[in-house]
């Protein structure tokens, strides 16, 4: 076994690998860029080495500096994590040539599976089901259209070296095929230095289901069941679960055996994932093989009880697998939500900055530790409260993983965990994740990879989420207000005869973005630890809080059932979020509510004459000039942040009067880019 390993990565996955190495008694070396000097993985590792400036191309992607750091610290092996150099066959070979061990598959296996065209040909030879398509590089957009017509729309246009949603488009007609080919080739050239593009049939109502495989250097390969990864947004996975609620045991076995056959065909030695697209009739086709640890590997760890990082390290050290296929168990149900630094109410644009508050839910499961028999909650992260989310890397804050006896229990546990997960200072996708978990089609397991696009075609807003208990949010607001009033009544120094009285009768006022006002009279009375809330024209509810309401995450009981809710008091407003739904409520006395109704509504400013930066980032392109007439849908500018390019389009016909920012500027959120006449 190795005495010391270097982790050629950052953030959550670096912290994850460190935990297993520590349990195995293996010392760790972290590498970090200048932007990550205070990062959590640097603190957790036994040693840390600075490898360059913030941009990944000058630090985490520089093989020479990583190998030099390993030699400098005496590390015997390098674990690449995922992303960066993890699937770079050249890097893997360099590591081996330098006398070090690459904790992952051999470079020949990475090369064979890293090329999507060659991997499909190899899969066909191994008798793995492959999808109809044109698997040779296509030389022009015109030729791409011809091929797409021959295959039959819809088609999927993919860059051979693509990944992470880059270099991938779905085309439903000739124009989309022409434009999609051009975009894919440009993205692939810029991101991967390889502009080869191929086309394949797009399976309608597809599900994305992947098989986890594990092989050693002694010819043994097993599959560790499947992961359902169909809940995606723009080809990026959002929620993953194991097992899949869709496929049957016959399909599960067939997919597993084909994945093993492919792994054996390339002499695969490590953890890897074979991805399939599965049709509504349970027909399945090979997509690609990821020759690395997957982001969603914890759900497999939860249902099998295996530590995949440990297995990777043991295999790299030359050990045989200690178990065979018949020994791989499948216990319960696991779900993972990716918690990202993005604003779901601004079309999921990246959100960078300081984590003013970071309070994950209570966890009783830990990476590298056995799963408790009753299941539980696990949080894998590389951040901490007060730390920065930099603009140079991906947007992941944490992975929230739960395990339950069955799918319904896992869903319920995940919803409670999301309700208790507090992030402030930056925006996160927690409200969207909570809404997905509450969606009846998700709960029923009736979804495919188009689920988010179909259910949220115009984006996501809080108004789209209807709480299953309509009176819950306003009842919590009224009960919380009573607690705050009781607390205020105990403050000393009040004038005798004029002491504050908590009172019983209130009016809960809700107002939407357009200024529409809705008010509900309530009566709140105290009975011991319970608050009895009577809603006028509704019913009576019993609320008890399990804490003093000093934290944002609040636990308690509502009509005898436990709940977790996020509650903040901002000025006169109570902001409450629960299960993806939220309100901003004012709780007033009847007289104050009567007077407040007479106050004019201050409408938000008209922003139709300006283009504002929707996020912090780098302005990489300005596509128009002052005086230019622009049609709705035309490109105005492009902003880059967190490795993604975001194009800003005109929402209406207009004439550009001024361009206030220039290419190369670093923009703040809501900074003016241009003005219109």
pLDDT digit string (tens) for 541-565? 999 999 889 999 999 999 999 999 9
163 pLDDT exceeds 70? no
Statement to judge: residues 161 and 87 lie in one domain = no
651 pLDDT exceeds 80? no
- Domain containing 172 equals 133-201
- Of the ranges 280-284, 308-312, 349-353, 534-538, which is most confident? 308-312
Q: What's the mean per-residue pLDDT of the chain?
A: 92
With bands split at pLDDT 50, 70 and 90, how would you rate the model's confidence at 164?
low
Cα(309)–Cα(369) distance, rounded to whole angstroms? Answer: 12
Statement to judge: residues 393 and 253 lie in one domain = yes
Statement to judge: residues 227 and 341 lie in one domain = yes
With bands split at pLDDT 50, 70 and 90, how would you rate the model's confidence at 18?
very high
Statement to judge: residues 336 and 433 lie in one domain = yes
Assess if residue 602 is contained within a domain. no
Give residue 297's pLDDT: 98
Cα(520)–Cα(273) distance, rounded to whole angstroms? Answer: 54
Q: How far is CA 235 from CA 163, 290, 449, 547, 625, in A?
A: 9, 15, 8, 41, 33
Cα(138)–Cα(132) distance, rounded to whole angstroms? Answer: 16
Active site residues: 288
Cα(64)–Cα(49) distance, rounded to whole angstroms? Answer: 13
Lowest mean pLDDT among 267-271, 351-355, 368-372: 351-355
Give residue 234's pLDDT: 85
Q: In the chain, what percentage of residues exceed pLDDT 90?
A: 72
Statement to judge: residues 298 and 441 lie in one domain = yes
DSSP bridge partners of 567: 576
Statement to judge: residues 571 and 617 lie in one domain = no
25 pLDDT exceeds 90? yes
Domain-ending residue, one of 201, 216, 238: 201
Assess if residue 125 is contained within a domain. no
Lowest mean pLDDT among 136-150, 182-196, 438-452: 182-196
DSSP bridge partners of 523: 505, 534
Give residue 547's pLDDT: 85
Phi first, then psi, for residue 106 (nearest 5°) are -65, 155
Mean pLDDT of 616-631: 91
Contact call for residues 10 and 393 (beta carbons, < 8 A): yes
Statement to judge: residues 556 and 647 lie in one domain = no
Domain-ending residue, one of 569, 596, 623: 596
Q: Which residues contact 135 (CB under 8 A, 6 or more apart)?
A: 117, 120, 121, 198, 200
CATH number at residue 29: 3.40.50.20
| Cut 0.75: pTM above it | yes
211 pLDDT exceeds 90? yes
In the chain, the number of structural domains is 5
Give residue 34's pLDDT: 96
Statement to judge: residues 503 and 522 lie in one domain = yes
Of the two residues 408 and 495, the one the predictor is more confident about is 408
Assess if residue 114 is contained within a domain. no
Mean pLDDT of 525-537: 93
Give residue 564's pLDDT: 94
With bands split at pLDDT 50, 70 and 90, how would you rate the model's confidence at 643?
low
Mean pLDDT of 215-230: 98
Tokens (6 digits) for 141: 């957009």
Assess if residue 118 is contained within a domain. no
Statement to judge: residues 444 and 482 lie in one domain = no
646 pLDDT exceeds 80? no
With bands split at pLDDT 50, 70 and 90, how would you rate the model's confidence at 642?
low
Give residue 165's pLDDT: 65
Statement to judge: residues 296 and 378 lie in one domain = yes
Q: Express each pLDDT in 28-57 by its tens digit.
A: 999 999 999 999 999 999 999 999 999 999
Statement to judge: residues 278 and 359 lie in one domain = yes
DSSP states of 174-221 as a string? HHHHHHHHHHHHHHHHHHHS---EEEEEPPSS-EEEEEEEEE-TTS-E
Tokens (6 digits) for 353: 């900055």
């Amino acid at each position: 076994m190795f005495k010391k390993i270097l982790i050629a990565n950052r953030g959550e996955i670096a912290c994850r690998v460190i935990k297993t190495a520590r349990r195995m008694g293996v010392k760790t070396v972290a590498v970090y860029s200048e932007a990550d000097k205070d990062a959590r993985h640097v603190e957790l590792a036994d040693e840390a080495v600075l490898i360059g400036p913030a941009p990944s191309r000058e630090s985490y992607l520089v093989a020479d500096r990583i190998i030099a750091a390993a030699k400098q610290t005496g590390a015997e092996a390098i674990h690449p994590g995922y992303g960066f150099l993890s699937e770079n066959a050249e890097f893997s070979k360099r590591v081996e040539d330098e006398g070090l061990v690459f904790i992952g598959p051999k470079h020949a296996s990475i090369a064979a599976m890293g090329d999507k065209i060659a991997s499909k040909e190899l899969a066909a030879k191994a008798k793995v089901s492959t999808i109809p398509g044109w698997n040779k590089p296509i030389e022009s957009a015109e030729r791409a259209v011809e091929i797409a017509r021959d295959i039959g729309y819809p088609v999927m246009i993919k860059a051979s070296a693509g990944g992470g949603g880059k270099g991938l488009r779905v085309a439903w007609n000739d124009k989309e095929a022409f434009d999609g080919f051009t975009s894919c080739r440009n993205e692939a050239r810029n991101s991967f230095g390889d502009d080869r593009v191929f086309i394949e049939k797009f399976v309608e109502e597809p599900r994305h289901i992947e098989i986890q495989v594990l092989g050693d250097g002694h010819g043994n390969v097993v599959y560790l069941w499947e992961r359902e990864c169909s809940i995606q947004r723009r080809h990026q996975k959002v929620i993953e679960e194991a097992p899949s609620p869709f496929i049957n045991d016959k399909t599960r076995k067939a997919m597993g055996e084909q994945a093993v056959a492919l792994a054996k065909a390339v002499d695969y030695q490590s953890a890897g994932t074979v991805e399939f697209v599965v049709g509504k009739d349970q027909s399945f086709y090979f997509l690609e093989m990821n020759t690395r640890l997957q982001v969603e590997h914890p759900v497999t760890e939860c249902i099998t009880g295996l530590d995949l990082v440990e297995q990777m390290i043991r295999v790299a050290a030359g050990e045989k697998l200690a178990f065979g296929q018949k020994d791989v168990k499948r216990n319960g149900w696991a779900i993972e939500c990716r918690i990202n630094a993005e604003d779901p109410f601004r079309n999921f644009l990246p959100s960078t900055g300081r984590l003013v508050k970071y309070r994950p839910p209570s966890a009783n499961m830990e990476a590298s530790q056995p799963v408790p028999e009753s299941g539980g909650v696990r949080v894998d992260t590389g951040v901490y409260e007060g730390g920065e989310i930099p603009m140079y890397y991906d947007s992941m804050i944490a992975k929230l993983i739960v395990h339950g006896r069955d799918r319904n229990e896992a869903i319920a546990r995940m919803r409670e965990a999301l309700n208790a997960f507090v992030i402030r200072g930056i925006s996160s996708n927690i409200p969207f994740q909570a809404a997905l978990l509450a969606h009846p089609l998700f709960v029923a397991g009736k979804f495919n990879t188009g689920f988010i696009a179909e259910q949220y075609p115009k984006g996501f807003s809080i108004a789209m989420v209807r709480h299953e208990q309509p009176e819950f949010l306003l009842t919590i607001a009224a009960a919380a207000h009573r607690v705050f009033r009781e607390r205020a009544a105990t403050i000393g120094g009040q004038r005798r005869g004029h002491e504050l009285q908590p009172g019983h009768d209130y009016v809960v006022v809700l107002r939407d973005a357009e200024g529409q006002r809705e008010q509900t009279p309530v009566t709140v009375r105290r009975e011991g630890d319970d608050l009895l809330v009577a809603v006028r024209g509704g019913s009576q509810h019993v609320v008890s809080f399990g804490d003093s309401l000093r934290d944002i995450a609040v636990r308690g009981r509502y009509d005898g059932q436990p709940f977790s809710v996020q509650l903040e008091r901002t000025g006169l407003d109570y902001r409450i979020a629960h299960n993806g739904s939220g309100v901003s409520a004012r709780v007033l006395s009847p007289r104050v509510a009567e007077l407040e109704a007479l106050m004019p509504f201050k409408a938000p400013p008209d922003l139709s004459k300006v283009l504002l930066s929707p996020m912090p980032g780098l302005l990489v392109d300005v596509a128009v000039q002052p005086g230019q007439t622009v049609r709705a849908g035309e490109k105005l500018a492009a902003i880059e942040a967190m490795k993604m390019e975001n194009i800003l389009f005109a929402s209406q016909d207009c004439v550009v009067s001024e361009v206030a920012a220039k290419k190369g500027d670093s923009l703040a959120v809501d900074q003016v880019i241009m003005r219109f006449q």
